[in-house]
Amino acid sequence: MSIHPLASVSPEAELGIGVTVAAFASIEAGVTIGDYCSVASGAVIKSGVRMGCHNEICEHAVIGGQPQHVARPETVGQVLIGDHNVFREGVTVHRALKPDGQTIVGDHNYLMAAAHLGHDVQVGNHCILANSALAGGHVQIEDRAFVSGAVAIHQFCRIGRFSMIGGHARVVQDVPPYMLIDGQTGSVVGLNSVGLRRAGFATDEITALKAAYRVIYRRGLPWTEVLETLRVEFPSGLAAHLYAFLEGGRRGFVQERRGPPSAAATLRLRVADDESKRNLRAKAG
Protein backbone atom coordinates (compact mmCIF):
# COMPACT_ATOMS: atom_id res chain seq x y z
CA MET A 1 0.00 0.00 0.00
CA SER A 2 1.25 3.47 -0.87
CA ILE A 3 -0.47 6.57 0.56
CA HIS A 4 1.04 9.97 -0.16
CA PRO A 5 1.52 12.07 2.98
CA LEU A 6 -0.59 14.86 1.45
CA ALA A 7 -3.55 12.55 0.83
CA SER A 8 -6.54 12.58 3.20
CA VAL A 9 -7.53 9.01 4.08
CA SER A 10 -9.94 8.33 6.92
CA PRO A 11 -8.77 5.72 9.44
CA GLU A 12 -12.29 4.28 9.11
CA ALA A 13 -11.78 3.50 5.41
CA GLU A 14 -10.80 -0.07 4.44
CA LEU A 15 -8.05 -0.33 1.82
CA GLY A 16 -6.83 -3.58 0.28
CA ILE A 17 -3.28 -4.59 -0.51
CA GLY A 18 -1.41 -2.74 -3.24
CA VAL A 19 -3.68 0.33 -3.15
CA THR A 20 -2.01 3.59 -4.16
CA VAL A 21 -3.35 7.01 -3.16
CA ALA A 22 -1.79 10.14 -4.67
CA ALA A 23 -1.34 13.60 -3.15
CA PHE A 24 -4.49 15.61 -2.45
CA ALA A 25 -6.79 12.63 -2.94
CA SER A 26 -9.56 12.21 -0.37
CA ILE A 27 -11.04 8.93 0.91
CA GLU A 28 -13.81 9.29 3.48
CA ALA A 29 -14.95 7.05 6.32
CA GLY A 30 -17.04 4.04 5.39
CA VAL A 31 -15.28 3.45 2.06
CA THR A 32 -14.08 -0.02 1.06
CA ILE A 33 -11.46 -0.28 -1.69
CA GLY A 34 -10.25 -3.63 -3.01
CA ASP A 35 -6.73 -4.75 -3.85
CA TYR A 36 -4.49 -2.93 -6.34
CA CYS A 37 -6.75 0.05 -6.95
CA SER A 38 -5.23 3.46 -7.68
CA VAL A 39 -6.63 6.84 -6.62
CA ALA A 40 -5.08 9.79 -8.45
CA SER A 41 -4.43 13.33 -7.25
CA GLY A 42 -7.54 15.32 -6.43
CA ALA A 43 -9.90 12.35 -6.68
CA VAL A 44 -12.58 12.04 -3.99
CA ILE A 45 -14.15 8.77 -2.84
CA LYS A 46 -16.98 9.52 -0.47
CA SER A 47 -18.74 7.53 2.23
CA GLY A 48 -20.98 4.72 1.07
CA VAL A 49 -18.69 3.44 -1.72
CA ARG A 50 -17.57 -0.17 -1.97
CA MET A 51 -15.36 -1.19 -4.85
CA GLY A 52 -13.55 -4.34 -5.90
CA CYS A 53 -10.03 -4.84 -7.22
CA HIS A 54 -7.88 -3.20 -9.92
CA ASN A 55 -9.98 -0.07 -10.32
CA GLU A 56 -8.40 3.17 -11.55
CA ILE A 57 -9.79 6.46 -10.21
CA CYS A 58 -8.24 9.34 -12.14
CA GLU A 59 -7.70 12.98 -11.29
CA HIS A 60 -10.66 14.88 -9.82
CA ALA A 61 -13.16 12.07 -10.21
CA VAL A 62 -15.82 12.11 -7.48
CA ILE A 63 -17.24 8.70 -6.62
CA GLY A 64 -20.15 8.51 -4.18
CA GLY A 65 -21.52 12.03 -4.29
CA GLN A 66 -24.97 12.78 -2.91
CA PRO A 67 -27.92 12.24 -5.30
CA GLN A 68 -28.95 15.31 -7.27
CA HIS A 69 -32.58 15.32 -6.20
CA VAL A 70 -34.69 18.08 -4.63
CA ALA A 71 -36.35 15.51 -2.32
CA ARG A 72 -33.14 13.82 -1.22
CA PRO A 73 -33.63 12.04 2.11
CA GLU A 74 -31.25 12.52 5.00
CA THR A 75 -29.92 8.99 4.60
CA VAL A 76 -29.12 7.76 1.09
CA GLY A 77 -27.93 4.51 -0.48
CA GLN A 78 -24.60 3.16 -1.69
CA VAL A 79 -22.35 2.89 -4.71
CA LEU A 80 -21.16 -0.64 -5.54
CA ILE A 81 -18.33 -1.04 -8.05
CA GLY A 82 -16.88 -4.29 -9.38
CA ASP A 83 -13.38 -4.99 -10.70
CA HIS A 84 -11.13 -3.58 -13.44
CA ASN A 85 -13.01 -0.34 -14.03
CA VAL A 86 -11.51 2.97 -15.18
CA PHE A 87 -12.97 6.31 -14.08
CA ARG A 88 -11.19 9.05 -15.99
CA GLU A 89 -10.74 12.71 -15.08
CA GLY A 90 -13.77 14.46 -13.63
CA VAL A 91 -16.12 11.45 -13.68
CA THR A 92 -18.98 11.67 -11.17
CA VAL A 93 -20.95 8.73 -9.76
CA HIS A 94 -23.78 9.40 -7.29
CA ARG A 95 -25.16 7.28 -4.49
CA ALA A 96 -28.63 5.74 -4.64
CA LEU A 97 -31.51 7.91 -3.52
CA LYS A 98 -33.05 5.61 -0.90
CA PRO A 99 -31.17 4.08 2.05
CA ASP A 100 -31.60 0.52 0.76
CA GLY A 101 -30.78 1.45 -2.87
CA GLN A 102 -27.58 0.92 -4.85
CA THR A 103 -25.88 2.60 -7.77
CA ILE A 104 -24.06 -0.28 -9.45
CA VAL A 105 -21.09 -0.42 -11.83
CA GLY A 106 -20.06 -3.93 -12.90
CA ASP A 107 -16.68 -5.08 -14.21
CA HIS A 108 -14.33 -3.87 -16.98
CA ASN A 109 -16.15 -0.63 -17.69
CA TYR A 110 -14.46 2.51 -19.03
CA LEU A 111 -15.88 5.93 -18.16
CA MET A 112 -14.08 8.69 -20.02
CA ALA A 113 -13.52 12.24 -18.80
CA ALA A 114 -16.52 14.07 -17.31
CA ALA A 115 -18.94 11.15 -17.73
CA HIS A 116 -21.75 11.11 -15.15
CA LEU A 117 -23.80 8.34 -13.55
CA GLY A 118 -26.80 9.59 -11.61
CA HIS A 119 -28.38 7.99 -8.57
CA ASP A 120 -29.55 4.37 -8.86
CA VAL A 121 -27.94 3.85 -12.27
CA GLN A 122 -27.01 0.25 -13.09
CA VAL A 123 -24.15 -0.41 -15.50
CA GLY A 124 -23.31 -3.95 -16.60
CA ASN A 125 -19.91 -5.19 -17.76
CA HIS A 126 -17.53 -4.06 -20.53
CA CYS A 127 -19.45 -0.84 -21.18
CA ILE A 128 -17.90 2.39 -22.47
CA LEU A 129 -19.18 5.90 -21.73
CA ALA A 130 -17.23 8.47 -23.73
CA ASN A 131 -16.44 12.03 -22.69
CA SER A 132 -19.31 13.96 -21.06
CA ALA A 133 -21.84 11.16 -21.51
CA LEU A 134 -24.66 11.63 -18.99
CA ALA A 135 -26.92 8.97 -17.50
CA GLY A 136 -29.83 10.26 -15.42
CA GLY A 137 -31.26 8.56 -12.35
CA HIS A 138 -32.33 4.92 -12.56
CA VAL A 139 -30.86 4.41 -16.05
CA GLN A 140 -29.93 0.80 -16.84
CA ILE A 141 -27.06 0.06 -19.23
CA GLU A 142 -26.61 -3.56 -20.24
CA ASP A 143 -23.32 -5.33 -21.03
CA ARG A 144 -21.01 -4.03 -23.78
CA ALA A 145 -23.06 -0.98 -24.63
CA PHE A 146 -21.16 1.96 -26.12
CA VAL A 147 -22.36 5.48 -25.27
CA SER A 148 -20.57 8.13 -27.32
CA GLY A 149 -19.51 11.60 -26.25
CA ALA A 150 -22.02 14.19 -24.99
CA VAL A 151 -24.93 11.72 -25.10
CA ALA A 152 -27.71 12.56 -22.62
CA ILE A 153 -29.81 9.64 -21.38
CA HIS A 154 -33.10 10.54 -19.70
CA GLN A 155 -33.86 9.04 -16.29
CA PHE A 156 -35.40 5.55 -16.18
CA CYS A 157 -34.32 4.71 -19.74
CA ARG A 158 -32.71 1.36 -20.55
CA ILE A 159 -29.80 0.83 -22.93
CA GLY A 160 -29.67 -2.68 -24.40
CA ARG A 161 -26.59 -4.85 -24.67
CA PHE A 162 -24.22 -4.34 -27.61
CA SER A 163 -26.02 -1.16 -28.63
CA MET A 164 -24.05 1.86 -29.80
CA ILE A 165 -25.29 5.43 -29.38
CA GLY A 166 -23.80 8.12 -31.61
CA GLY A 167 -22.35 11.33 -30.23
CA HIS A 168 -24.65 14.12 -28.97
CA ALA A 169 -27.74 11.89 -29.12
CA ARG A 170 -30.68 12.71 -26.86
CA VAL A 171 -32.11 9.45 -25.52
CA VAL A 172 -35.61 9.70 -24.02
CA GLN A 173 -36.82 6.13 -24.68
CA ASP A 174 -35.33 2.65 -24.31
CA VAL A 175 -32.63 1.65 -26.80
CA PRO A 176 -33.20 -1.99 -27.84
CA PRO A 177 -30.23 -4.35 -27.70
CA TYR A 178 -27.83 -4.57 -30.66
CA MET A 179 -29.04 -1.32 -32.25
CA LEU A 180 -27.05 1.55 -33.74
CA ILE A 181 -28.37 5.00 -32.82
CA ASP A 182 -27.67 8.02 -35.00
CA GLY A 183 -26.30 10.91 -32.96
CA GLN A 184 -28.00 13.66 -34.96
CA THR A 185 -31.55 12.30 -34.92
CA GLY A 186 -31.42 9.92 -31.96
CA SER A 187 -33.08 7.27 -34.14
CA VAL A 188 -32.24 3.65 -34.93
CA VAL A 189 -30.27 3.32 -38.18
CA GLY A 190 -29.74 -0.46 -38.16
CA LEU A 191 -27.92 -3.10 -36.19
CA ASN A 192 -24.55 -2.52 -34.56
CA SER A 193 -23.12 -4.99 -37.06
CA VAL A 194 -19.49 -3.97 -36.62
CA GLY A 195 -19.68 -4.39 -32.85
CA LEU A 196 -21.36 -7.77 -33.20
CA ARG A 197 -18.72 -9.04 -35.63
CA ARG A 198 -15.91 -7.78 -33.42
CA ALA A 199 -17.48 -9.65 -30.51
CA GLY A 200 -17.11 -12.86 -32.51
CA PHE A 201 -20.75 -13.76 -33.03
CA ALA A 202 -21.46 -16.29 -35.77
CA THR A 203 -22.95 -15.19 -39.09
CA ASP A 204 -26.16 -17.16 -38.50
CA GLU A 205 -26.71 -15.34 -35.18
CA ILE A 206 -26.37 -11.94 -36.89
CA THR A 207 -28.66 -13.11 -39.71
CA ALA A 208 -31.30 -14.03 -37.14
CA LEU A 209 -30.95 -10.57 -35.57
CA LYS A 210 -31.52 -8.97 -38.97
CA ALA A 211 -34.71 -10.98 -39.35
CA ALA A 212 -35.85 -9.90 -35.87
CA TYR A 213 -35.03 -6.29 -36.77
CA ARG A 214 -37.38 -6.50 -39.75
CA VAL A 215 -40.12 -7.86 -37.49
CA ILE A 216 -39.77 -4.88 -35.15
CA TYR A 217 -39.29 -2.04 -37.61
CA ARG A 218 -40.34 -3.10 -41.10
CA ARG A 219 -43.44 -5.32 -41.06
CA GLY A 220 -45.78 -2.70 -39.65
CA LEU A 221 -47.27 -5.13 -37.13
CA PRO A 222 -49.23 -4.04 -34.05
CA TRP A 223 -47.02 -4.07 -30.97
CA THR A 224 -48.64 -7.16 -29.45
CA GLU A 225 -48.00 -9.05 -32.69
CA VAL A 226 -44.40 -7.87 -32.76
CA LEU A 227 -43.80 -9.35 -29.32
CA GLU A 228 -45.60 -12.60 -30.13
CA THR A 229 -43.70 -13.02 -33.40
CA LEU A 230 -40.37 -12.48 -31.64
CA ARG A 231 -41.31 -14.95 -28.93
CA VAL A 232 -42.35 -17.66 -31.40
CA GLU A 233 -39.81 -17.20 -34.21
CA PHE A 234 -36.72 -16.48 -32.10
CA PRO A 235 -36.84 -18.71 -29.01
CA SER A 236 -33.06 -18.84 -28.52
CA GLY A 237 -29.81 -17.06 -29.33
CA LEU A 238 -29.15 -13.34 -29.44
CA ALA A 239 -32.56 -12.52 -30.89
CA ALA A 240 -34.31 -14.12 -27.91
CA HIS A 241 -32.99 -11.32 -25.70
CA LEU A 242 -34.81 -8.79 -27.89
CA TYR A 243 -38.15 -10.24 -26.83
CA ALA A 244 -37.19 -10.23 -23.14
CA PHE A 245 -36.01 -6.63 -23.34
CA LEU A 246 -38.93 -5.26 -25.34
CA GLU A 247 -41.52 -7.14 -23.31
CA GLY A 248 -40.31 -5.38 -20.17
CA GLY A 249 -40.39 -1.86 -21.58
CA ARG A 250 -42.36 0.95 -19.95
CA ARG A 251 -41.09 4.11 -21.68
CA GLY A 252 -41.45 3.11 -25.33
CA PHE A 253 -38.58 2.41 -27.69
CA VAL A 254 -36.40 4.40 -30.04
CA GLN A 255 -37.84 4.24 -33.56
CA GLU A 256 -36.12 3.70 -36.88
CA ARG A 257 -34.94 6.63 -38.95
CA ARG A 258 -36.46 6.61 -42.43
CA GLY A 259 -35.22 8.44 -45.51
CA PRO A 260 -37.40 10.49 -47.88
CA PRO A 261 -40.09 8.38 -49.60
CA SER A 262 -38.79 9.12 -53.11
CA ALA A 263 -36.17 11.02 -55.03
CA ALA A 264 -38.87 13.54 -55.93
CA ALA A 265 -38.50 14.98 -52.44
CA THR A 266 -34.92 16.04 -53.17
CA LEU A 267 -34.37 19.73 -53.90
CA ARG A 268 -32.24 20.44 -56.98
CA LEU A 269 -30.46 23.68 -57.67
CA ARG A 270 -30.96 25.23 -61.12
CA VAL A 271 -27.72 25.66 -63.04
CA ALA A 272 -27.60 28.97 -64.94
CA ASP A 273 -27.05 28.77 -68.71
CA ASP A 274 -24.42 30.83 -70.53
CA GLU A 275 -26.82 33.69 -71.27
CA SER A 276 -27.79 33.98 -67.60
CA LYS A 277 -24.15 34.01 -66.59
CA ARG A 278 -23.43 36.86 -69.02
CA ASN A 279 -26.38 38.86 -67.68
CA LEU A 280 -25.19 38.35 -64.09
CA ARG A 281 -21.71 39.55 -64.97
CA ALA A 282 -23.16 42.60 -66.76
CA LYS A 283 -25.25 43.53 -63.70
CA ALA A 284 -22.23 43.07 -61.49
CA GLY A 285 -20.37 45.64 -63.56
- Delineate the domains of the chain, giving CATH numbers in brackets: 2-141 (2.160.10.10)
Report the first-to-last Cα separation within the chain, whole angstroms.
Answer: 81
> Model-level pTM?
0.89
Inter-residue contact 134 to 117 (CB < 8 Å): no
pLDDT at 258: 78
Q: Which one of 77, 136, 137, 166 is the catalytic residue?
A: 137
pLDDT, mean over the chain: 92
DSSP class of residue 216?
A: H
Q: Which one of 54, 60, 94, 119 is the catalytic residue?
A: 119
16 is an active site residue? no
Q: What is the full per-residue pLDDT of the chain (285 aa) written as tens digits?
A: 899 999 999 999 999 999 999 999 999 999 999 999 999 999 999 999 999 999 999 999 999 999 999 999 999 999 999 999 999 999 999 999 999 999 999 999 999 999 999 999 999 999 999 999 999 999 999 999 999 999 999 999 999 999 999 999 999 999 999 999 999 999 999 999 999 999 999 999 999 999 999 999 999 999 999 999 999 999 999 999 999 999 998 899 999 997 544 444 444 445 455 555 555 455 444
Name residue 135's amino acid: A
How far is it, in rounded angstroms, from Cα 227 to Cα 215?
Answer: 9
Name residue 192's amino acid: N
Cβ burial 151-180 (10 Å sphere, 16+ → b, else e): bbbbeebbbbbbbbbbbebebebbbbbbbb
pLDDT at 63: 98
Bridge partner list, 110: 86, 128
119 is an active site residue? yes
204 is an active site residue? no
Count of Cβ atoms closer than 10 Å to residue 194 Cβ? 10
Residue-wise pLDDT for 271-284, tens only, equals: 455 555 555 455 44
Q: Which one of 52, 120, 136, 160 is the catalytic residue?
A: 120
Inter-residue contact 204 to 185 (CB < 8 Å): no
Residue-wise pLDDT for 247-269, tens only, equals: 998 899 999 997 544 444 444 44
Inter-residue contact 176 to 158 (CB < 8 Å): no
DSSP class of residue 256?
A: B
DSSP class of residue 161?
A: T
Secondary structure element (H or E) that encloses residue 258, with its range: none
How far is it, in rounded angstroms, from Cα 126 to Cα 133?
Answer: 16
